Structure 1
Amino acid sequence: MEGRSTAEVTSVRECPECGAPVPVDERYVDWCAACDWNVDPGAPEPEPGRMPAARRRLAHAYGEQLAAEMEQGRSQSRPVGRDAATLVAFVLSLVVHGVTVVLAVTGILLVVSGWDTGVQPVLGALLLGLAALLRPRPVRLPKDARVLYRADAPRLFALIDEVGAAVGTPGVHAVVVDPKANASVTTYGLRARRMMVLGLGLWEILSPQERVALLGHELGHFAHGDTRRGIVTGGALHALATWYYVLAPTPPSGLLDRFVNAVTFLPRWAVYGLLVLLDHLTLRASQRAEYLADVSAARVGSTEAAVGLMDRLLVGPAVGPELRRESVAAQVQGGSAGREARERAEQGLWERLALRMGAVPEHEYERLRRVAARRGHSVDSTHPPTHLRRRCAAAGGPYPAQVTYDEGCAAAVAQELAPARAALAIRVIRDYAG
């Protein structure tokens, strides 16, 4: 995909607030760059609930301070996960998992030793079931996904290896390709093998160097670490969230409900306090790891590519509706005509998506950047706001590209991804649900 659209706006209107000229494009929101009129007309409501609100407050508390430290280089030299807060979080996580072990052992003892009572085995089975819900779980490879191994895509894996070497970390064992506008890395299985998820909805709308920056960002998570992604701390956060759900009060419809709510009141607030504490101990390091991954993207793919990647992420939410629109349009006809329409839609799907996303004008990108700055951490606290990530990726540079994605490499990788692209196009057109 080439750079973003530079097509000129053919009509303007007058801003109702300040009278400045407003570009008019029926595909996008009309807004005023002079006074920000209508810049964010569809702002989503923050995720409801006590825990999301607590996470937003914590993320906002770090926000600009952490970004300023990153821009000044004060946080880039310290490895993630080697401070007192991370150590305390690790110990607390072990305590949480220790409770799970106690539940499992107690459940086994009740089942084995109290078999003749009839009651103890039932209670033991309940404890074992709860322990199974709370246990840390290694990620598994998706069963219905398109999984590529080194033998399937040697040039893609060679590119990932080259980017990993530039970032300072090994490559991955498997690449999972899906249709979403996203990418991620994690480990899977008991041997903690490395896996990268590449969403074609994002990969296909990026320029060649932006793809290198994306790989650099994702591999940067391995290089810099993120305790919340690990099985110990991540598993503890999952266990505490499960406890909080299990102990949640039920609407009182009788005396028994009121009694249960009263009995679980103190444990519920204790779990909430531990969950907030563990969030507090890990969230700053997690967000710093995200910033460091963005710096890795800039250093390996170039500052220009990393900043471009941040902009592409702003239009990422529009990819899902575009794919759904393609799916709906291809399925409105029945019979042989419908079958032919679906086949036509499946062919060239990703190219059409890239063209539409490439046609997004600069004034829409600027609006989305301003929206990101306005919303900040209010909607998503798992990542720093995109405008801060963009700012930090541009700081300290400009960096030239350490890894270049030339035409030969691009053609080889495209050929290796072709079967996955075709299969996922069929899935999108026939049953895409976002």
Structure 2
Amino acid sequence: MPTVKTFLLPDLGEGLTDAELLTWLVRVGDTVTLNQIIAEVETAKASVELPSPYAGTVVALHAEEGTTVDVGSPFIDVAVAGEDPADAPEPTTPAAPAERTPVLVGYGVAEDSSSRRRQRRPAGTRVDVTPAPRTSRPLASPPVRFAAKQHGVDLTEVDATGVHGEVTRDDLERHRTAASVTTSAATVPPDADEERIPIKGVRKHTAAAMVRSAFTAPHVTEFVTVDVTPTIDLLAELRETKHFTDVRLTPLTLVAKALLVALRSNPTLNSSWDEDAQEIVVKRSVNLGIAAATPRGLMVPNIKNAHTLGLRDLAIALSDLTTTAKEGKTGPADLADGTITITNVGVFGIDAGTPILNPGEAAILCFGAIRRQPWEYRGEIALRSVTTLSLSFDHRLVDGEQGSRFLAAIGQILSDPLTLIALS
């Protein structure tokens, strides 16, 4: 006789207390296999696909799409064949979440996270989700599903033009333009004066973190304008070599490498402030964060141990990181433990900026647009490739001399990139 097992929403890492249910990928009555993806949820850090810990038949779904579910709360019931009924959990009164929070592979459980858990519904409350008429589930990437959820669009009503029959972002935008859009607050016609978008998930987390950073760390920003013509010339030469024929090599790659080299003689830029211990913690490893604009808002995934990578491996890591972020597949582990960050505003045609520190880090480098402009070169005026670098740093950790030397070192390397070969 089948035994009904209840899967509780696990802690998805770093003590997160809840998650928003974006999409159910199963319905009541469906047969699921072990580790089959059953839902997409969004935490304050990232979008996560949840695998099923059981194989069997879906009996009940305990949450509705678009709602927030607390860690440790009932998530889904699965009838498992061949189980001893004595092993089944209590059906109506689950134990305290801190004791029963399930752990999936790759997920962590924070100590005593229940003390910070916000109760949005009684622990034993069941939300029975009536299955809709069975239709084929439209194909779409997680970012497109998230955008559709934000704007109240039913993807089954969107004409799909993707290569594999999937709904693309362009398809979604065309659908929203052609019809009224239902948001979580109201129905908004395309010609309305305003549209209200709920502040939640990654965007809410980012906003709170930036406010904390701006009002906690005393920011100082310095600028330097650099002739990077030799860097651009070197990039062109490297792209023609056999070592980089299958690698996406960009100016950002050499900027990142220059930063990593400059850190060797300026280690305090790779540090953090321990308020409780009243200590400056200088990090031996460099987890290089790259600020990325994604469909779900600003994210700063990082390359672990970037200081150990050669130029080719660094280029590959940067390409993988940005691709994963744009596809909405960045996981919580990719966002954790960053030590220093680069933000590339040049890709938007912006010359410079005064970036806010990623919380817990000592510095962030802003890389502006590279422009061809008149510049003094060898005593004459010549057309050169020029960019502006700006560095924001925490003045508790880094004094003006240290910040200036670090920024100047990066600029010097980019104006004479053969230094990379000598120092790498």
TM-score calculated relative to the size of structure 1: 0.23
Bigger relative CO (Cα 8 Å, ≥ 6 apart): 1
Larger helix proportion of the pair = 1
TM-score calculated relative to the size of structure 2: 0.23
